[in-house]
Amino acid sequence: MSRIGAPLDNGSDAVMRNRQAQQQLAERLKKRMDRILQGGGPEAQAKLLKRGKFSVRERISRILDPGSDFLELSALAGWEQIPGSDTPAAGIVTGIGDVHGQPVIFVANDPTVKGGTYFPLTVKKHLRAQEIALACGLPCVYLVDSGGAYLPMQAEVFPDRDHFGRIFRNQARLSALGFAQIACVLGSCTAGGAYVPAMADESVIVRGNGTIFLAGPPLVKAATGEEVEAEELGGADLHCRRSGVADHLAETEIEALEITRRILSHCPPRQRADPRRAAAWEPPYFSGSELPALIPDDIYRSPMDPRQILARLLDGSVLDEFKRLFGPTLICGFGSIEGWPVGVIANNGVLFSECAAKAAHFIELCCQRRIPLLFVQNISGFMVGRKAEAEGIARHGARMVTAVACAAVPKITLIIGGSHGAGNYAMCGRAYDPDFLFTWPSAKISVMGGRQAADTLLQVRQDQLKGQGREALSAEAAKAFREPILESYAEESEALEASARLWDDGVILPQDSRKVLSQALRICSIQRPPSDTHFGVFRM
């Protein structure tokens, strides 16, 4: 048994400093989440209640199995992304929880946020949920209560490939694969939005609150002069008795949610015969509650042995390392999380050529054995410089990137510190389709560190001036030149900001990570359609 990790030196200055810094990050996250959970604010919530509606998260919890943990995704999305408009959670709650014992993905409009309309990030979040459904083989439940496209931004939500229309195309494709598409219409469902229930396998609508139409009464009047009330134009009676657009009429919201739950009981579980979870497992030997004390302020700069982190995430703190003595700045090994087997790849410094070769080999092993991969990112990038280039670091890196891109096993990425340069790519960043990508509040994501970017741009500027025969920037002017770059890098790369742009599936606290990773491994292991990995051409 290869137990890793070492006890924490509780009395040390570093541990106290780390705890304090993590506490501040956690408080900032909590403050933001408290605001996000209020949706459009108390007034909008009161309006909802008056209409006999539940809040968006209450709707979801009433469909879930009692006691089921709901893994909410990207709750921070949309934060301060539209000047002048507050869009908590991007106006749409997505996440995964169990119904009748099998994981189901929910996509639920929040009508308190600008009438549940679709901003660019709302569309991105909806599509991301469908992407997860496709990868993991999940049934989808759409809780619809939306005014459709956010009209002032139609150019950014309507016509392009990954815009509004893609939602309905995805419904058709997911249904074709046998992944149930269930819509429950609890409010407005206008224009393009009308296609969500229309494209669903089965749909439910609430009398009085639910409406489905291609154009609402004001637009009908403008277009044809016809005057008609919303209920008559597209209410529950019309759609369940005459048009056939909806299948089940509910008198109340509670009833609609119950019917939705009942519909899911008819969707057979698609569980794989061999989800290879161990029947029993041990908790980590070292407690996960110690994780915040282990994260240095500048985790991306200070050397930190990731074994200390893994020792607090893996069952029994056990990691069977692969090629421990070769390419030691990348750790590869087999372990498990709450019984789910996992192949771990974790950074322990800069990526060298031999690390990339080792990773490619390890990924091949995991693919052949159908073991999910967990990437733990804290990476400044690949090694640069004359020696590295001459030994072909670009081709070695390409080999690792090929392996990551083609691996058909479930992939989960956890960014705990820096995530920069091609290191972000090779360690299964967002562009490499990890099934789930979570970040810690200490994460920083950018093409390079702010200091390196400022120095690079300053060097380019000084070279330009020299080429023009002009005087170089003085120390003071150089400082003024660097400062705004440092500021924008510091702000943009920060975990909460990255999550607001939906570069991840959520920011999680270090001490919650084991539970979240276990949920994620279960979700992408039990229903995922099996597939063989076919790698492309590996450079020698």
What is the sign of the dihedral through the CA atoms of 415, 419, 425 and 431? positive
Q: How far is the CB of 49 from ligand COA (least distance, A)?
A: 13
d(C-alpha 73, C-alpha 106), whole Å: 10
Q: Is 87 in the site for ligand COA (CB under 6 A)?
A: no
C-alpha angle 184/434/512, rounded to 5°? 80
Dist CA 503 CA 288 (whole Å): 25
Q: Specify the residue, 55 or 188, whose C-beta has the smaller distance to ligand COA.
A: 188
Binding map of ligand COA across residues 151-190, x = CB under 6 A, - = no contact = xx-----------------------------------x-x
The C-alpha atoms of residue 108 and residue 183 are separated, in whole angstroms, by: 10
- Measured from the CB atom, the residue of 120 and 429 that comes closer to ligand COA is 120
Where does this chain touch ligand COA (CB under 6 A) — which range of 146-154, 271-279, 448-456, 459-467? 146-154
CA distance 91 to 108: 9
Told to check if 147 binds ligand COA by CB under 6 A, we report: yes
In the complex with ligand COA, the residue whose CB is nearer, 18 or 188, is: 188
**Closer of 137 and 147 to ligand COA (Cβ):** 147
For the chain, the C-alpha Rg in angstroms (whole number) is 25
Size of the site for ligand COA (CB under 6 A): 16
Residue nearest to ligand COA (CB): 147
Q: Give me the torsion for CA of 334, 367, 102, 123, rounded to 10°.
A: 110
Evaluate the CA torsion angle 100, 105, 109, 110 in order and state its sign. positive
Distance of CA 411 to the CA centre of its chain: 12
- The answer to whether 300 contacts ligand COA (rule: CB under 6 A) is no
150 forms part of the interface with ligand COA (CB under 6 A): yes
Q: DSSP code of 239?
A: I
Closest CB to ligand COA among 221 and 479? 221
Residues 6+ apart with CB under 8 A from 468: none
Out of 148, 397, 410, 423, point to the residue binding ligand COA (CB under 6 A). 148
* CB of residue 36 to ligand COA, shortest distance in Å: 17
Least distance CB 206 / ligand COA (angstroms): 14
Does 39 bind ligand COA (CB under 6 A)? Our answer is no
Per-position b or e across 254-282, b if 16+ CB within 10 A of its CB: eebbebbbebbeebeebeeeeeebeeebe
Which two tokens mark 97?
């929880």
- Work out which of 39, 95, 216, 397 binds ligand COA, going by CB under 6 A: 216
- 117 contributes a contact to ligand COA by CB under 6 A: yes
Any contact of residue 192 with ligand COA (CB under 6 A)? yes
Closest CB 211 distance from ligand COA, rounded Å? 8
Provide the token pair at 229: 């009330």
CB 132 within 8 A of CB 519: no
5-34 residues in contact with ligand COA (CB under 6 A) are: none
Among 7-15, 122-130, 136-144, 147-155, the segment contacting ligand COA (CB under 6 A): 147-155
Place of tokens 């042995």: 305
Q: Residue 117 or 260: which CB sits closer to ligand COA?
A: 117
Q: How far apart are CA 347 and CA 345, in angstroms?
A: 7
Enter the tokens of residue 197: 């229930």
As a dihedral over the C-alpha atoms of residue 69, residue 306, residue 302, residue 426, rounded to 10 degrees, the angle is -80
Phi, psi of 285 (to 5 degrees): -65, -35
Nearer to ligand COA, 50 or 534 (CB): 50
Q: Which is nearer to ligand COA, 127 or 191 (CB)?
A: 191
CA 259 – CA 59 distance, rounded (Å): 13
Least spacing, CB of residue 148 vs ligand COA, in Å:
3
- At residue 419, the 3 state secondary structure works out as strand
Residue 245: alpha-carbon gap to chain centroid = 32
When the beta carbons of 117 and 525 are compared against ligand COA, the nearer one is 117
In the complex with ligand COA, the residue whose CB is nearer, 238 or 371, is 238
Q: What is the distance in angstroms between the CA of the first residue and the CA of the last residue of the chain?
A: 34
**Is 397 an interacting residue with respect to ligand COA (CB under 6 A)?**
no
Q: Which of 114, 126, 358, 482 binds ligand COA (CB under 6 A)?
A: 114
CA angle 323, 329, 330 (to 5 degrees): 55
Nearer to ligand COA, 191 or 426 (CB): 191
CB of 153 to ligand COA, least distance (A): 8
Q: Supply the minimum distance, in Å, between the C-beta of residue 197 and ligand COA.
A: 15
User: Cα 190 to chain center, whole Å?
Assistant: 28
Question: Which helix (H) or strand (E) is 535 found in, with range?
Answer: none
Shortest spacing between CB 185 and ligand COA, in angstroms: 12
Shorter beta-carbon distance to ligand COA: residue 149 or 508: 149
Site membership for ligand COA, residue 197 (CB under 6 A): no
**How do 248-250 and 202-206 pair as beta strands?**
parallel
36 binds ligand COA (CB under 6 A): no
Nearer to ligand COA, 110 or 494 (CB): 110
Out of 149, 183, 259, 373, name the contact with ligand COA by CB under 6 A: 149
Binding residues for ligand COA, rule: CB under 6 A, are 111, 114-115, 117, 147-152, 188, 190-192, 216, 219
